[in-house]
Amino acid sequence: MSASAPRDAGGRLERRLDYAFERPALLARALTHRSAASDHNERLEFLGDGVLNFVIAAALFERCPEAPEGDLSRLRAALVRERTLAAIAEEIDLGEALVLGPGENRDGSRRRASILADGVEAVLGAIYCDGGFAAAQTVVHALYASRLAALPSADSLKDAKTRLQEWLQARARERPEYTLVSVTGADHCQHFVARCHLADTGDTVDGEGGGRRKAEQDAARRMLERLHADDQ
């Protein structure tokens, strides 16, 4: 570690992972952000991403023998997304062990979700290089034990536009139409308003968000809420 991370932070992280590195230099590299040194963690992050995706895919394949490919893909995406990885990083206090450049330290990047998520992947890549696939698989299973034991329903992971379309299709109704209503604000903080329109009934609902896709998803969510309320 360097002055950018607390003394023995790497050792504490090993204890939380229940894995001791034969080659500590691999762990040091996995914890080094590119802002801190030229020997940084991006290549290990690439490798760890592949290892993680395979281990989680295999675990879901075994745990959900009846699930179709689409459901498995949605479940895997939820388990390996940035938000989930950042939460895991917080659980093992990975942030305290990261080695960051002076600028990143001042900006509070030690708690930034993207940096934490990348760090988890890099550490998994380092474990694979140090102890092989079985070691990396064991660590992934331990990190994900509670999440794999309490998997959400695949339907709950579908985005609002998909859920709305499926709701309409199940009732032999036409697909919804989306149009962009307005874009306001400066280039770096634009605000979008999108409209969801049902051609067969004429119903329209507007949604908002920081991008067109987000605004359309918000409009679909609001339309679903209206349809469900009308059903009651």
Which one of 14, 22, 91, 121 is the catalytic residue?
A: 121
Contacts of 19 (CB under 8 A, 6+ apart): 127, 131, 135, 138, 139
45 is in an annotated binding site: yes
121: annotated active-site residue: yes
208: annotated active-site residue: no
104 is in an annotated binding site: no
Which one of 49, 130, 216, 218 is the catalytic residue?
A: 49
Rounded CA separation 194/113 (Å): 28
- Which pair of tokens denotes residue 58? 């295999």
Strand partners, 191: 184
- Helix ranges (H only) for the chain are 9-17, 24-30, 42-63, 69-80, 82-91, 102-106, 113-131, 133-143, 145-149, 160-169, 212-231
159 is in an annotated binding site: no
Q: Which residues are marked as active site? A: 49, 121
Binding residues for Mg(2+): 45, 118, 121
